[in-house]
Amino acid sequence: MLFSSISFLYYFLPLTLVFYFAVPPRFRNAVLLLASLLFYGWGEPKYVLLMGLSVLSGYGSGLFLEKYRGGRAGKTGCVISVGISLSFLLYFKYADFFIENFNKVTGAELPLLRLALPVGISFYTFQIISYTVDVYRGEPAQRNPVRLAVYVVMFPQLVAGPIVRYSDLAGQLADREHSWQGAAWGIRRFVTGLAKKILLANQFGELCGAFRASEEKSVLFYWMYAVAFTLQIYFDFSGYSDMAIGLGRVFGFHFLENFNYPYISASITEFWRRWHISLGTWFRDYVYIPLGGNRRGRGRQLMNILLVWMLTGFWHGAAWNYILWGLCFAALLTAEKLWLLERLEKSRLLSRIYTLFFVMAGFVVFHAQNLGQAVSDLAGLAGAGGIPLVSAEAVYCLRSFGVVLAAGGIGATPAVRAFVRKISENAAGKRVLGLMEPVALAALMLVMTAYLVDGSFNPFLYFRF
């Protein structure tokens, strides 16, 4: 089930809210768990059992690790628990990648498994690992299996994050406050995220689709595609995060922010502090620091950065272009750490141009179906292969999508937020905003509903990762 669907917006979510708030507080976790299982099983009922086994494994591991933490048995148990969680992910997401590359290297003809990737497995696997490692490090184990299951499978952030650490949510699973003010804030945040997805990300996706289908490639078209996908993945993923954070607040949960206007960054280092914050934090706390971080000398630190970013790329997908994407960012981050960052600080304008250029080039590699297509797309940006600078189809698409591209460019900066804050600084402006906001949100919902009724299937990009 998708957030951006009629069935979710007008049937599933209202019914879930009715049942959730109708029952006594002690039963609300159970209602949320049942709703989450229905949400997940709506499209993939066969994988509900897999998710249940993952939760049970994490639950049992937590009890064991609390009892034996600090000793050899606890350390061994932690390694085994992480291994079990990763084994599910490796089997479903990476088995065919390893088989295919083994066949290429050895000449063997082992058949591919061709398994469907369970939606959200990359996210809930990391959340289970977060729980077991946190328990091993000293966090009390969760003895209520329903609460742990809610943490892992809660539908607002189940399929595409943000990745929520157990230590940040443990207290809220046991006791959380609900208020009209919090629910209103959550609804505003949800509608904003939905608008990002339907009114912006989906339009950029259409432009990317037109580029791929075109037989009149040009340098202009390649750059339009690079800009469009850079905006699409931002509004798609940050829109989903907004919806997850908003829904979480309606149910009384406070999820941490996942994006902070990454495209205004003045370095790649800053960009990754603003983009997919929960993933970067997870790799820092559960991979980079345990490997030694920066505590064992510069050489070991750079090796840790390389390993973390190779894994970050591989986490996004079982293909070489994802690994290349991660390694490219590892190289840029290493260069900044060694000498480039000091030079970038001398010019904020040039540093922002440098950052946007490499981010866009990186996303071109990221979006490619394979390494060959990634190289071809990068060559197209440089005008290689004798392609023209401009084509008639590129000009037509620029005219068709020019307004939405401009809106996306502005929306990816804090300009709109700053404008709203400026208006609300005085009492009159604040009253006007208070009156206009409900009308604007209702109008947005009507427009988006029309898009959904008239539109086609529009999954979130991160579903595939």
Residue 407 pLDDT: 94
Residue 105 pLDDT: 92
Residue 14 pLDDT: 94
Read off the pLDDT of residues 298-309 as tens digits, 9 standing for 90 and up: 888 889 999 999
CA 107 to chain centre: 37
Residue 265 pLDDT: 95
Read off the pLDDT of residues 27-71 as tens digits, 9 standing for 90 and up: 999 999 999 999 888 877 888 888 889 999 999 999 999 999 888
Residue 456: pLDDT over 80: no
Read off the pLDDT of residues 247-257 as tens digits, 9 standing for 90 and up: 999 999 999 89
Distance CA 340, CA 12 (A): 51
Distance CA 358, CA 267 (A): 10
Q: Which of 380-394, 406-420, 421-435 has the lowest mean pLDDT?
A: 421-435
Q: Which of 254, 276, 316, 367 is catalytic?
A: 316
CA 381 to chain centre: 26
Six token digits for residue 18: 């009715």
Closest to 261 (Cα-Cα) out of 241, 243, 286? 241
Residue 217 is classified by DSSP as -
* Own/partner long-range contacts of 343-348 (Cβ < 8 Å, ≥24 apart): 344/266, 344/267, 345/266, 348/266
Residue 165: pLDDT over 90: no
Read off the pLDDT of residues 94-140 as tens digits, 9 standing for 90 and up: 999 999 999 999 998 899 998 888 888 888 899 999 999 999 998 89
CB 131 within 8 A of CB 58: yes
* Three-state secondary structure call for residue 2: coil
Distance CA 239, CA 264 (A): 18
In this prediction, residue 440 has a pLDDT band, given cuts at 50, 70 and 90, of confident
Return phi, psi of residue 111, to 5°: -70, 145
Q: pTM of the full predicted structure? A: 0.91
> If you search the block for the tokens 């009629």, which residue do you land on?
6
Read off the pLDDT of residues 195-226 as tens digits, 9 standing for 90 and up: 999 999 999 999 999 999 988 899 999 999 99
Which residues make Cβ contacts (< 8 Å) with residue 445, sequence separation at least 6?
191
CB 203 within 8 A of CB 458: no
> If you search the block for the tokens 């290349």, which residue do you land on?
324
CB 172 within 8 A of CB 254: yes
Residue 230 pLDDT: 97
Share of the chain above pLDDT 90, in %: 62
Read off the pLDDT of residues 181-199 as tens digits, 9 standing for 90 and up: 999 999 999 999 999 999 9
* Three-state secondary structure call for residue 347: coil
Which residues make Cβ contacts (< 8 Å) with residue 181, sequence separation at least 6?
none
Average pLDDT, the chain: 90
Residue 310 pLDDT: 93
Query: Helix/strand/coil (H, E, C) string of 362-391?
Result: HHHHHHCCCHHHHHHHHHHHCCHHHCCCCC
Which residues make Cβ contacts (< 8 Å) with residue 138, sequence separation at least 6?
69
Read off the pLDDT of residues 265-289 as tens digits, 9 standing for 90 and up: 999 999 999 999 999 999 999 999 8
Our answer to whether residue 316 is catalytic in this structure is yes
In this prediction, residue 429 has a pLDDT band, given cuts at 50, 70 and 90, of confident
The CA–CA distances, whole Å, from 204 to 137, 197, 200, 409 equal: 44, 10, 6, 12
Residue 459 pLDDT: 62
Across the range 343-352, mean pLDDT stands at 89
